[in-house]
Chains A and B, each alone.
Chain A
Amino acid sequence: MSILHIVNKSPYEKNSLDTAVGFVKNGDTVLLIEDAVYAAAKGGSVAAKLDGLDVSVLGSDLAARGIAEDRLIDGVSVVDYSGFVDLVEAKDSTQSWL
C-alpha cells in the first residue's frame, strides 16, 4: 500500500511535516503544497528531514512564494497540478496532514 503524503503547512510554523515523515514507508511520496513548499528550500534548517525520501513539490506554490527551482534541495521533483493528479493516481491512497 503506497501512500501520497500531502503536506500543506510551513515546517517553520507547524509540525505536520514531522508527523508525516514519521509515517513514510518505502514506496511512499511526500508532496509539498501551499506553505509546505518552504521545506524544500536548500539551506533550510528542516532540509535534512527530507533526506532519502521521495519528495515532490508543487511548482505554482513555489513560484507564488518566490522560491526559484534552482534553490531547491537536490533530488526534489517539481510538479504542476497535472503531476499532482498523476501522483494521486500512482499511489494507492492519499493522506493530507492538515
Chain B
Amino acid sequence: MKFTIQVNEGPYQHQAADSAYNFVKAALEKGHDIFRVFFYHDGVNNGTRLTTPPQDDRHVVDRWSELARENEIDLVICVAAAQRRGIVDAGEAERNGKDATNIADGFRISGLGQLIEGAVQSDRLVVFGD
C-alpha cells in the first residue's frame, strides 16, 4: 500500500516528528511504499541541517535524511512555511537574496500542490502534528 505522511510539528514541540518517523519506519519494514513525507507549518523545522542536538539524543533531522537516502523517500518542505521560518535551499536563497542555505540532505522545498498530489496518488494520508 502507498502512504503519504504529513508532519505539522517541529522536532522539539511535542512528539509528532517522532511518531511520524516511527510510523514511516514500520510501514517500510512491512513492505509498504512511502510516496512522500510533506512537512507543513512548524514541521518544516525537521529539515534544517544546522541543528546539533547532544550526542546522546536522537538526531531528528539526520534520521530523516538517512531514511530518505536508504529508501528513496521524497521529503518535501512547504515553501511558504519554509520562507516564514528561514528554511532555505539554493533556489530560495537566490530568489530571496539570502546569504546562506540550511536545507538538509534528502529534503526539497516545493508547494502545497505536492501535498494534494501525495494524497491523490497514495492509498492513505496520515497526518501527524500538534
Contacts and interface: CB of A to CB of B under 8 A. Distances in A.
Interface range, B side: 20 to 34
B124 A96 contact: no
B64 to A, nearest CB: 16
Interface in A24-53: 33-35
Q: Majority SS of interface residues in chain A? A: helix
Contacts of A33: 19
Contacts of A84: 23, 26
Contacts of A82: 26, 29-30
Contacts of B126: 6, 88, 94, 96
B30 A8 contact: no
B125 interface: yes
Contacts of B1: 89
Contacts of B23: 81, 84-85
B124 A94 contact: yes
Contacts of B26: 80-82, 84-85
A81 B22 contact: yes
Interface of A: 6, 8, 33-35, 60-61, 80-82, 84-86, 88-89, 93-94, 96, 98
Interface of B: 1, 3, 8, 14-16, 19, 22-23, 25-27, 29-30, 32, 124-130
